[in-house]
Structure 1
Amino acid sequence: MANDLNLCQFIGRLGADPEIRFLPSGEPVANMRIACSESWKNKQTGQKDERTEWVSLVMFGSLASMVEKFWQKGTQVYVAGKMRTRKWSDQQGNDRYSTEVIVNQVQTLKDGRQNGQQPQGQQAPQQGYQQQPSGMDFPDDGEIPF
Structure 2
Amino acid sequence: MREAGDPVRFKIAAARGMLDAALIASLWTQLAAWLTFGLAAGLAWGSWAGVAAACVSAAVSLSALWLLIRVAIDRRLFAALADLPAELRAEFSALQTLDQALLELGWIDATKAGRSIELRVRGVAGLLRKTVVLSSLQTLVLIAVAVYRAL
TM-score, normalised on structure 1?
Answer: 0.23
Larger strand fraction of residues: 1
Pick the structure with greater CA Rg. 2
Larger helix fraction of residues: 2
